[in-house]
């Protein structure tokens, strides 16, 4: 028997360079060296902008200095990264710097607005703010006259509640038609919903004003304001619900239909319960949009300094109308009340978005931690 020996691989010649070892690239972590390079680039860019913008060029102003320093920082940071690594990582680092500075500027702007509003208005929220109205307060009223925003709070709650009651069922039904039924008019309905998403809020107010107030002669009221808010809520609820319904696994629908359930029963008992958390997110996002809308309410609500419990008759105040009315007043007490109402409005919107974030953190059909613990306890007890 003849034994065949495999030939050994030829050794590389001595003059051929060895391949460079692979270098690990950190995607989520930033090394201390990278931080130092970025800091040095910032200092160098600030110095270069000071010399160029303040000493050489015949211009002045902090806006131009900031722009010059920022552009110089991106250039120096990209150049230093390119000299240390390669062009791909240089472009990646510059893009990361642009995103990071953009996020920082955005968060800084939002934080500045929130801090300013809370600083001006938090000290003006007391017991009278929630129990008194503005009906008894006039230009000659003294500081001992109680004044509050109870009528505006009631108006906002009623208007948003009516808009939610009218909009949420319609928005969910529209999303079900687009995603589950997929009828012939689905393409047209989707175009209309997308067009409504880009609709300016003032157009919604003008539409309700022309149809309800002028056309039907109903007059300004809280109900008219809720109609305008509903127009703004509808595309948000519809589009969010449609996205959530798409996330429901198709196997659940197929399993239900294979067991003999009808399409309506599958939708009601399988699809919608599975997407319950997403539906709650859609509703909360719509409410958050409606609470902060200003221009439609200014057109159709009318505003009133007295308490109006009936949104279907007579002019009605809201928090946004209350802020708009009192911030223009020369009276310092009314200006303080406007900032107090702004604190309440910002708090409501922030709370709604936090709740949305908590609910949206769980995918459709995924069990919550409390439910998982309960199932584990029941399994252990058995």
CA 202 to chain centre: 20
Query: Domain boundaries in the chain?
Result: 32-121, 150-368
Spatial separation of the C-alpha atoms in residues 272 and 267, rounded to whole Å: 6
**DSSP class of residue 181?**
I
**pLDDT, position 112:** 92
φ, ψ of residue 302 in degrees (nearest 5): 90, -45
| pTM for this prediction | 0.72
Place of tokens 């160029």: 52
**pLDDT, position 167:** 92
Which residues does the chain have with pLDDT short of 50?
1
Query: Was domain 150-368 assigned CATH 2.170.150.70?
Result: no
* Residue whose C-alpha is closest to residue 284's, from 363, 353, 226, 221: 353
**pLDDT, position 54:** 66
**pLDDT, position 1:** 47
């Amino acid at each position: 028997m003849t034994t065949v020996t495999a030939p050994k691989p030829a050794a590389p010649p001595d003059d051929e360079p060895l391949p460079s070892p692979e270098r690990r690239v950190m995607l989520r972590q930033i090394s201390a060296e990278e931080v130092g390079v970025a800091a040095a680039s910032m200092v160098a860019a600030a110095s270069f902008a000071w010399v160029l913008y303040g000493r050489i060029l015949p211009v002045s102003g902090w806006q131009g200095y900031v722009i010059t320093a920022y552009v110089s920082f991106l250039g120096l940071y990209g150049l230093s990264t390119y000299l240390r690594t390669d062009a791909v990582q240089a472009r990646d680092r510059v893009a990361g710097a642009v995103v990071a500075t953009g996020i920082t500027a955005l968060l800084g702007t939002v934080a500045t607005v929130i801090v300013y509003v809370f600083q001006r208005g938090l000290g003006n929220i007391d017991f009278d703010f929630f129990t008194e109205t503005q009906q008894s307060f006039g230009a000659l009223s003294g500081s001992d006259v109680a004044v509050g925003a109870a009528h505006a709070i009631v108006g906002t709650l009623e208007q948003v509640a009516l808009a939610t009651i009218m909009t949420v069922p319609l928005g969910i039904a529209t999303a079900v038609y687009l995603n589950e039924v997929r009828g012939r008019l689905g393409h047209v309905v989707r175009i209309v919903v997308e067009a409504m998403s880009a609709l300016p809020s003032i157009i919604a107010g003008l539409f309700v004003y022309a149809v309800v107030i002028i056309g039907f002669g109903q007059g300004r009221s809280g109900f008219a304001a809720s109609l305008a808010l509903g127009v703004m809520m509808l595309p948000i609820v519809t589009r969010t619900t449609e996205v959530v319904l798409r996330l429901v696994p198709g196997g659940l629908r197929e399993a239900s239909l294979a067991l003999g359930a009808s399409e309506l029963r599958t939708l009601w008992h399988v699809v919608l319960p599975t997407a319950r958390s997403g539906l709650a997110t859609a509703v909360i996002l719509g409410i958050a949009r409606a609470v902060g809308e200003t221009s439609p309410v200014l057109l159709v609500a009318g505003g009133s300094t007295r308490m109006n419990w009936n949104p279907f008759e007579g002019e009605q105040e809201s928090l946004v109308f209350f802020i708009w009315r009192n911030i223009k007043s020369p009276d310092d007490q009314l200006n303080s009340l406007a900032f107090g109402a702004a604190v309440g409005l910002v708090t409501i919107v922030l709370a709604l978005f936090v709740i949305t974030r908590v609910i949206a953190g769980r995918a459709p059909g995924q069990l919550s931690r409390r439910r998982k613990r309960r199932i584990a306890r029941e399994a252990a007890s058995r």
